[in-house]
Structure 1
Amino acid sequence: MQHITKVYSKAESLSSLKEMITKELKDNNLNPADCIWGTSICSDEINNSFLKVGEDFKGPGPFFFGGISGLPFTGKTGFGAFSSHIPDEGAAVILYGPHVGVTKDGTFGKVLREGQEEPSSSCGSLIAGLNNVKAGNVLNISHNDYQQGQVHKVLIENYDDIKKADNEIIATTETGFNQIKRELTDIIGAGLENLGTKPLLLVGGIIINTDWDQDDYFEIRDISWFNK
């Protein structure tokens, strides 16, 4: 944990995140059981530990906005669909953010997965994108790897700042957070009419993956309400 808090000083357990969301909803006279939820996080199965946060929401959930890296690839159409699923007297919650691994010895960008002897990349998409940019690979947004092409594009646009950082992986994760927040906020803003008068709670941050036999963490960076 000390390796995590040196970088993410406000990191908390997923149980604490769940408690915070429940309190935020109840402080606004909403019950989690009347809410549906969505996520804009990376497709990596390691992030399924995050599903415990939504145990008290209505329906099986969540609605997945994110593809690899966590960018909200479902766009305005996805948000329109999600909005149409909100219970008549209910609300919605969306959790978003990139993820980054940290091993027990404090190596960022890697995590030991169950059944493997050596750590592997986390977030694999962001780290692969960073390596492509550093290698000078030409941007190629193709139909058979469209999402990673978009990740590569974002990192090209932000590489001047990333390469100045003390830790490029942590800086790349920050770039991912900023991009997910920007895109998701734009999508919601452009589709507010889909919500009608129903409230939406948006919670963003950094997911911190740990080795498979340890608990994951989340550092909250943003709490925003729409229609409140």
Structure 2
Amino acid sequence: MEYINNIYSDAKSLSQTEKTILDELKKHDMSPANCIWGTSICSDEVNNSFLSLGTHFKAPGPFFFGGISGLPFTGKTGFAAFASHIPDDGGALILFGPHIGISADGTVGKVKREGQADITGCCGSLAAGLQTVESGSVPVEDHSDYQQTQVSKMLIEKHAELKEADDPIIEATEIAYTQIKRELNDIITNMKETLGDKKLLLAGGILINTDWQQEDYFELRDVIEF
């Protein structure tokens, strides 16, 4: 926990975060029992630690907007589908953000996964994007690896910030957060008519993964009502 709070001072355990999110819904006059939920978080299986939140919601979930790195690759079509699933008299929540590993020994950008003796990269997609930036190579459009191409492009555009960063993986995580938030805002704003009079709460932050036997953490950054 000390290693985490040295970097993410407002991070709270997922069990605490769950309570915070439920409280936020209540503040906005929304009941999870009458809402569906979605996520725009990296598809890495370590992020399934958030799935317990689904027990509070109306229907099976979440709806997955995010691909690798958490960018909302489902786009407008995905959002329109999600909006069409909202209960007639209910609302929706989208939880978003990138993830970063911090292992028990304080190694940033890595965690020990269940069944493995050594720590491995987390988020692997952002780490791969950083390697592209460091090599100076230009991503080539590849339909077999489309999502990673977009992640690498996102980071290459921020080459100067990454070059000056004390810890590039932390900076890459911040860049990803800003990009995910921007893209979701754009998608929702452009597709707002699909919501009708139903409320949508967008809750964003940084998901901090820990070694598999420990509870993960989340630093809530933004709560936006549409």
TM bucket by the smaller chain?
over 0.9
**Which residue number in structure 2 is paired with residue 69 of structure 1?**
69
Which is worse superposed, 29-38 or 144-153?
Answer: 29-38
Structure 1 counterpart of 2:76, which letter?
K
Aligned pairs for 1:129-144 (under 5 A) are 129-144=129-144
User: Identity over aligned residues, as a percent?
Assistant: 61
Corresponding residue of 1:213:
213
Give TM-score scaled by structure 1 length: 0.97
1:53 offset after TM fit, Å? 2.2
Q: Which amino acid aligns with 2:75?
A: G
Q: Is the 8 A contact 1:18 1:54 kept in 2?
A: no
Map Cα deviations across residues 86-140 of structure 1 (whole Å, 9 max, x no partner).
0000000000000000111111000000110111100000000101110112211
The yes-or-no answer on 1:223 pairing with 2:223 is yes
Q: Structure 2-normalised TM-score?
A: 0.98
State the match for 1:13 in structure 2. Answer: 13
CA distance in 2, matches of 1:53, 1:3: 25
**Distance in 1 separating the partners of 2:138 and 2:26:** 49
Structure 1 contact 209–217 (Cα < 8 Å) conserved: yes
In structure 1, what is the equivalent of residue 42 of structure 2?
42
Tell me the CA shift for residue 29 of structure 1. Answer: 2.5
Q: How does 1:1-228 map to 2 (within 5 A)?
A: 1-226=1-226
**Deviations for 1:7-58, whole angstroms, at most 9, x for unmatched residues?**
0000001111111121122223221110000000000000000111222011
- Matched residue count: 226
Superposed CA deviations along residues 43-89 of structure 1, whole A, max 9, x for unmatched, are 00000001112220111100000000000000000000000000000
Question: Separation in 2 of the partners of 1:122 and 1:28?
Answer: 33
Q: Which runs of 5+ in 2 are unaligned?
A: none
Moved more, 23-32 or 128-137: 23-32
Query: Does structure 2 retain, via aligned residues, the 8 Å contact 1:15–1:53?
Result: no
For each residue in 1:133-192, what CA deviation from the matched residue of structure 2 results, as whole angstroms up to 9, or x when unmatched?
101122112110000000010000011111111111100100110110011110000000
Moved over 4 A (4+): none
* SS of the residue 1:163 aligns to: helix
2:166 and 2:99 map into 1 onto residues whose CA distance is 19
